[in-house]
Structures are given as structure tokens and as C-alpha cells.
Amino acid sequence: MTAPNHYHHRLLPLRSNVSTPAQLPPKLPESIPLAPPLPFQYHDGPTPLLPVSYTCPSSGHLIMTVPIVNGSASVTIHAATKTLLDDTITFYSNVLGLALHSESSDAVFLSNKDQKITIKIVVGSGLSADEVAHKKAALAKRLNIDDWRTSESSVVFRSTNLNRLIATFQLSQLPVQVNPNELYPNEVYTIDPVGTLIGFTACANPLTLVPPVEKYNPVGAESTAVSASVSELSRGDEGVKPRRNIAVMTSGGDAPGMNANVRAVVRAAIFRGCKAYAVMEGYEGLVRGGPEYIKEMTWHDVKGYLSEGGTKIGTARCMAFKERKGRLQGCKHLIEAGIDALIVCGGDGSLTGADLFRSEWPSLIDELRKNGDISEEKYQKHKHLNICGTVGLIDNDMATTDATIGAYSSLDRICKAIDYIDATANSHSRAFVVEVMGRHCGWLALMAGIATSADYILIPEKPSSSQDWQDQMCKIVSKHRAKGKRKSIVIVAEGAITSDLQPISANNVKDVLVDRLGLDTRVTTLGHVQRGGNAVAYDRFLATLQGVEAVKAVLDCTPDTPSPLIAIDENKLVRKPLVEAVKITKSVATAIENKDFDKAMSLRDSEFCEHLSNYMAMNSANHNEPTLPVEKRKKIAIINVGAPAGGMNSAVYSMATYCMSRGHTPYAIHNGFSGLARHESVRSMDWLDIEGWNSIGGSEIGTNRQTPEDTDLGMIAYYFEKYQFDGLIIIGGFEAFLSLEQLEKARPMYPAFRIPIVLIPATISNNVPGTEYSLGADTCLNSLMDYCDVVKQSASSTRDRAFVIEVQGGNSGYIATCTSLISGAQASYVPEEGISLDQLELDIRSLKESFATERGLTKSGKLIIKSTNASKVLSTQVLADIIKYEAGNEFDTKTAVPGHVQQGGLPSPIDRTRAARFAVKAVQFVEDNSDLLADVKYSPDFPSDDKKLKATAVVLGIKSSHLRFSPIRKLYDFETELGRRMPKKIHWATIRDVADQLVGRTRIERPVV
């Protein structure tokens, strides 16, 4: 149809009574071509002649519009007068490229090509022209103060060129807000002629992310009909949370991973529609105030933070904040900056100050109001301050959490140093005394002692008299030497004391070893080396997830909510009361000062006590009498199955030494089940032969992928019977899982398998059902982190270059996802999702925009992580070629394949210490269940369906916040996808979401299979 003549004149330049904001100068992007004005024409049907150009009378600039809407949507808006109707038709025709479709007596319908979007303009209702002008002026006034999305209902469309839209709105003198910033726009918002807030996004499925605080609903207006690709989130007044201005601060001693925490807080806050701030120099910056110390942070301000040690926003001791006057100044400066939520990353002292600050906040802000330092409006707006704590502390002495940010990085420095010292000590047959940090907590010394098989450790929680520790240490070291050990390592926490609170220094220990044993002894004090350097993979991972969770916590908090502390329990992030955590932490130091050492130990978490007990047991393997009577001693075998993984040797060493301390006989089955069936490769283990295995990568007893059924099940049963094994510990990945199932299934036929069998998961793929963590995964992530940092440095140096990095993992995307998180990769592709062309197209477009906005900047290298099995069609090289071709000449693309580097290297401290914990637990399981199976071992009618007997063949794993034994039969039958060699439940899906959110990646949702 042909449009009625009385609509032809309506295609006029956009007009607005609001002037262009000063910070958005009117300018045209270079990509908009200049051409003579063309008359707008209607043709038969709904499709207008495009492109359309017109001249803006206010600026004289030529505007060229293109069709930008793509999606299915129906929207109803309201125009109170014919003039507003004309302006609205002009607006949507110019901006969205719509044409008149039809009209009725009370409404006009606009649509685009194929009628994929329809806008219905209802005449006679809605805001008046004055109300619209007032609303525009109010939005312009709040431009740099509030996020418009939090106060107005909005309709969001898809746009293929946000920069063009920004230029169009600027030239038309319309108020425009860009999120997160104009340099790298993700969303653009303005207001149409009838007062509707409209937004544009490059997402394939646009959704408004932040619900409005107030729903603007003009009298008589109908509810807007919105389809899946155009959303209006207005839930009324109930349940809608106001937007927050969130500040992050690092305080106390610096710790590796603090920068990752700051980055996560800033980007998570921006992602959720909040403003992010950084308080520079800790509490000192809070007291001094001003834009120099309380800075608004943008998305790009934290670029590169992941790979840097220390804290880039600074930390400092502040005596002024300990006084009320200093806290009053801090309160004033936060209010001046508009901040109503504070996230503090620091130790117990920093978090104590933060909670005190919050408790005093009502009286502080009231005093400021009475003194006239703040207005009544600001008083009402900032009556409450929400605070959340994340613990950045290398000592790991915060109660209620298993790990603190920086602790494992510090432990990694210590273990590497001792590994190096170990070689020198062995060469010269020397003793070394290594002093590590830990004033009131011996966690670093304890975990280093386990990870490096140190001869003796001194920690503040377990002191003895001056004479006792000297006698005990000399006894252990001399017996180790008598057994043939050439070196001696003693680790001393800086807070080590005697039972009468006298400090024990490294030099004291040295003197004892020299004077009483005549050993050539050296002292090494690691000092602040323990704090320095980049964070290890675990600390980047922990700091990032805790930062995101902290933002969620302050958004969830109410004035009555106690200040939370983001803690980790086994493998799960949890919120704990900050006051309680600090109170327990301080109680430990108080108990030590009061010589109540039993209470100090009871206040430590159960994992600390468990590690200490394990260390003492393993360390007594060759110098104390076994703790079990002869009749309870067992023959326990251990075997590695599958690919090598970091921590396998640590598990074998820990199992053997713990068995020796208990009186059991440990056997190693070399080269897997095939080695047993073909070569009877069974050897009992001697203490000296396995000395030092903790710090060796690979598998010293060998491993292969063959399962019992792949070799000879009957021959394996024969050798089990020959050696009279009372228990079996299997270490490995999915092949080990299958082996456990086959042995359990064969129990009715082969009595030799009627023994307790435990699987300790060990695979970089982390794909064993029954656990969320497998040995070797952390070692692999550390190798990949170092690899990605180097590759990213190369990409940044070359400029305009992206690398596609191929990682292992089989059909599991765990390694790819975690590598993406800890390296800050722009995208990752995993087997669970595959690589869709739509997603690839979106990622390439994002890369092009990112390179365009960051051209000339440092640290602009980009990474894309691809799991080997992510696609059967798109290999790593093909994927890189596609990206390079689609990028034109805008950036280059290369490939990088670390290969088996991911499996090798020294095992990380996490894998060493967890291997020890798992191994001891496995031996204890064999002890607890041997009698149950002994009663039916040779029964002709073996009750294979008995639940208790089924529960004697298990997988030992971490599930959420628990360490659990899961029966293999249940896991195999109900929780395993055999064809894909994967558990049915993907436990790391939320990690994937966080990784994408923090790099601004839009992911087309596909079900994770």
C-alpha cells in the first residue's frame, strides 16, 4: 500500500529541548559516509527505501541511518497529541528504519522489513509535551549520577552499530547514556519523543539487566507487550533493590591475588548496573578522601590486573582510622563520593576496622548532619552502609574459611624454595633451617612440611618445652640420617614458641643441630619473597569468585543483615558472619598468650588439625613403634591407572608412610593392571626408596590406561590372592573409575576382590564422577596460567594479535573454563557447548570492537581458549584461520598448543597436600571396612546386593563443602554418562558464567549437555 499523503511531511530531523551534555561532543564517526540528502520515500509494502539520510538543523551535520533492528518484537507506546505522534513516527523511522504499515482511528502501526518488529503508537493517552520535556531534562540532569535503567522501565532493541547510534543521538541533541562507557559501549540508552526510555545492545538476545527502582506508568497507559528479544523489567515497588555505588579497598599486608579480587569487584559491580569505586591506599585513602583517593573505576581500568602481584590500588597502615575522628572523616568522604557499600580485602585487623566502621555508621552520619557537613537529603540516602569482607592474607589464619587469598601463592614460593634447597642439602649432606612467615599461625609451616616431607616443623599452635622440642627434633633427624637420608630440612614459623612462650628462632634451631648432632647447617629466611610475585592459579580463581560473590552479598544485604565474610568451605563459597570469624581468629592468639594450647588448636578449623595429625603420623614412619597391634595390621596395595597427573607420587608417598606408621605393609603395583597381569609387578615399599617423592611429578610406579578387563581379570585376581591384599587404593582418572567398577562387579566370581577399594581421583580433566576436584587439575592450571601469561605478553607486544590456545580435558570443559577465568581470555569453547556459528560470529565481532577501542594501549593481547574436543569440525588451526579471515586486516590470529606440558612439571602445593589428605583418608577407610568384608570373603553365596558391602568400593571426592566416600555402584549406574566419559552433573557451570561476565562476553545460551 502507499502511505497517506498527510504522513509524508512527518520525516523530520529528530528534535529535543535538551542540550547535548558537555562530555559527549557532537561528532560523526569516520565510518558514516557523507552524501547528499535523499528524500524519504514509501513503497508498496512495509519496507522503506534505505539508507536514509537527513540534515540535522541544530548542528548542520548530515545523518545517515541504516536498518539496525533484528529480532521479533511488538511494542505499544502512547502519544498524547498529534504533534507527539508526528515526532514519534519521525523518530522511529529515522533511528530504526521503520515504515508505516497500517493505521486505525486511534493507532498507527510501524514495522520493518518482513514485519519482524512492530511498534503500535496509540493516540490520545500518555505524557503531555511538558511532561516529556521535564522527564528528558531530569534524565539529562542525572546523566553522570544514576544509571537510568534503575529508575525507568526500558525497552531494549538489538543494534549492529552502537557507535553510529551514539553519534546520531549526539548530533540530534538527545540525552544519551552509554554503558559501561563510550570507549567500549555495550548498551546505549536515550528517550523517545513520548518519554519512553529505549535502549540498544549488540547482544543477539537483548535483555535489560537491572530492574527499575520505580515503574513509571502514566495514567491510562496500557501495559507494553514485549517479546523475548525486547524486555521491560518493571516489577513494581515490591522486591526491587536500589542501585548501589560499590567501593573496594585493600588493606593490611599485601597478598598475591588482591588485584584479581579488585578486578572482579569492579567488573561484577559494573555488570550489575552499579558504579564501582576504588579506595586508594587502604584506610589512609578513606580518611584523606577526595577524587585522588576515592576513584571511580571503569571496565578498562582493571585490565591486566589478573597477572600482577601485590595490590595496584595500594595499602597502608592508618593510625588515624583507629580514632573516631578518622572514622568520621572516612564517613564523610564516602558520602561525598555517593558510596553506600564497601568491600574490604584484608586480614583480621582490616576486617575488624571495617565492621567497627559499619556499627558506628548511624552515629557518625548523624554527627555529620548535626554539624552541617552533609545535607538532610544525603543523610536520608546514606543512612546505612553495607560492608562485606574478603580475606587477603598469606598466613591463612582467618577462622571459618579453609583458604585466604594469597595463602597458596605464598606456600608455592616456600615449596619451590625448599625444593631448590633440597638439592643443595642432598649434594652436601647438609641440614637447612627454613624460616617462614606466620606470627600466630603455623599453617604455612605445616603445609610446607607436608608438601616437602620436611623432617621437623615448629609452629605456635603445638609448642613443647625448650628441652622437649630439642630432644624430639634431634631424635627424628638422627634416625632419618641413620636410615640413609643425606639431608635434613627443618621448617620454623616466625611465631614459633616454647610452652612457656619463649620465641624459637631459626638460629636457635641451627645451634641445636650443630652442637648436638654435628650437622653442617645453614639458615634460610625467605622473608618478603613469600608475599611477592604473581598469584598462583588457585588464588586468582578464589579471589575472582570471592569478588563476584562479595558484590552479590552487598546487593543482597539489608540494614539488618550482619556484615558477611566470603569464605570457602572445601570447594564451596559460603557467607559467614564477619564478626564471628574475626572473634574466633583473635581468640586463637589470646589462647596462645594464655598458654591454653589445646584451646588454640580447637579454634583452628578441622582441616588444620587433620593436616597436623597426618604430618605427625607420616613423619613417624621409621622412628616410632607402629600404633596398631599386630593382629590389626593389613597388607594394602596402591596402583596408578590412566594418564599421569600432578600429585600421584605425593599420594603414593603419603599412603606408604602412613601405612608404615600404623604397622601396615604398603605394596606398589607398578605399571598399572597390565604390569600386574603380565609381569607380577608388585613391590613392597621401603621408607628410603620413596624419600623425596612428594616433590616429583609424573608417576614413579608407572601408569597406563588399561583396565582389568582390558588385560586379564582372572590373573589379577590370582595375584591379589597370592599377596593376600587386605585393601586396594587406586589413583587415576576415568580409566581408574572404570577399573573400580569392574573389580566391584567381579566380586561374586573372584573372592580376592572382596576387599575395601578406594579410588582417589587424579586427572587433569577433572571428569571423575563423585568429586568436584581431582589431583593434577591444580598443577595443570598453574602450567596453563604461566603459558597463557607468556603468550598474552607476546600478543600484547606484537599489538593487534589474538591467540587461540588449545587445552586438554577430553570431553570435560573444566580446564578450558578455569583457564579462561584465570587468564582473562575473551572466550572459551568447551565440548559441553560445542562451537556454534552464531556464537563464533558474535565473539569475532566482540574481538574486532575490542581491538578497535584498545588500539595503541598496552596489555591489549587477546586469548581464546579452545578445548581439544570442543568441535569435531573446527580444529584449533581452522578456528584461528576463520577468525583471521573474518577480522580482515584489523587484527592477526595465531595458534598455541601447550600439549603435554599441561601434565608435567612439579606438582603444586595444593595437589601435594590434598594427595596426602586423600591418601590418609583412603587408608583409614580400608582399616574401618576390612572386618566387614572379611566375614564374607570366601562365602559361596556372596550377598552382592547388600548396601553395606556395596559401600566398600568407593570414590573419595570433594562434593560442595564435604569430603565424601561415594559407592561406585551408585555413581556408575546413576551419575555417569559413559559414552562421553563424564559425570551427568556439570558442577562448574557457574564458573563459566563468571568467566564470561568479567570479560564482557555475550554468550548465546545453549543447554549444557
Q: Dmax over Cα atoms in the chain, in whole Å? A: 109
Q: Helix, strand, or coil here: 177?
A: strand
User: Residue 401: exposed, middle, or buried by beta-carbon count in 10 A (0-12, 13-18, 19+)?
Assistant: buried
Query: Which among 827, 821, 835 has a CA at the least distance from the CA of 869?
Result: 835
Question: Any binding-site annotation on 484?
Answer: no
Q: Which of 340, 395, 397, 402 is an active site residue? A: 395
Cell of 920: 590418609
Question: Any binding-site annotation on 253?
Answer: yes
Question: Any binding-site annotation on 512?
Answer: no
Question: Any binding-site annotation on 31?
Answer: no
Question: Any binding-site annotation on 23?
Answer: no
Question: Any binding-site annotation on 78?
Answer: no
φ, ψ (nearest 5 deg) of residue 910: -65, -45
Question: Any binding-site annotation on 818?
Answer: no
Question: Any binding-site annotation on 706?
Answer: no
Question: Any binding-site annotation on 910?
Answer: no
Contact yes or no for 275/296 (Cβ under 8 A):
yes
Question: Any binding-site annotation on 810?
Answer: yes
Question: Any binding-site annotation on 61?
Answer: no
Spatial distance between the Cα atoms of 801 and 896, rounded to a whole number of angstroms: 12
Long-range contacts of 31-39 (CB under 8 A, 24+ apart): 31/161, 31/163, 31/164, 32/63, 32/64, 32/164, 32/167, 33/64, 34/62, 34/64, 35/62, 35/64, 37/62
Q: Bridge-partner residues for 458, per DSSP? A: 492
User: Residue 349: exposed, middle, or buried by beta-carbon count in 10 A (0-12, 13-18, 19+)?
Assistant: middle
Spatial distance between the Cα atoms of 125 and 137, rounded to a whole number of angstroms: 21
Question: Any binding-site annotation on 705?
Answer: yes
Residue 395 bears catalytic tag: yes
Cell of 832: 559441553
Question: Any binding-site annotation on 799?
Answer: no
Alpha helices in 229-281 (DSSP H): 258-271
Question: Any binding-site annotation on 6?
Answer: no
Degrees to nearest 5, angle at CA 41 with 36 and 42:
160
Q: What is the DSSP letter of 497?
A: B
Question: Any binding-site annotation on 522?
Answer: yes
Cell of 824: 582473562
Question: Any binding-site annotation on 754?
Answer: no
Where does residue 541 fall: left (phi above 0), alpha (psi -120 to 50 degrees), or beta otherwise? Answer: alpha
Question: Any binding-site annotation on 767?
Answer: yes
Question: Any binding-site annotation on 901?
Answer: yes
Question: Any binding-site annotation on 404?
Answer: no
Question: Any binding-site annotation on 768?
Answer: no
Question: Any binding-site annotation on 430?
Answer: yes
Distance from chain centroid for Cα 186: 23
Per-residue b/e over 50-85, b at no fewer than 16 CB within 10 Å?
bebbbebeebebbbbbebbbebebbbbbbbbeeebb
Helix axes 537-556, 777-798, angle to 10 degrees: 90
Question: Any binding-site annotation on 531?
Answer: yes
Question: Any binding-site annotation on 809?
Answer: yes
Spatial distance between the Cα atoms of 609 and 592, rounded to a whole number of angstroms: 16
Question: Any binding-site annotation on 801?
Answer: yes
Question: Any binding-site annotation on 570?
Answer: no
Query: Which among 240, 299, 247 has a CA at the least distance from the CA of 271?
Result: 299
Which amino acids are annotated as binding site for beta-D-fructose 2,6-bisphosphate, given as ranges?
A: 705, 763-767, 801, 808-810, 894, 900-903, 981
Which amino acids are annotated as binding site, given as ranges?
A: 253, 317-318, 347-350, 430, 437-439, 494, 522, 528-531, 705, 763-767, 801, 808-810, 894, 900-903, 981
Which amino acids are annotated as binding site for ATP, given as ranges?
A: 253, 317-318, 347-350
Please list the active-site residues.
395
Which amino acids are annotated as binding site for Mg(2+), given as ranges?
A: 348
Which amino acids are annotated as binding site for substrate, given as ranges?
A: 430, 437-439, 494, 522, 528-531
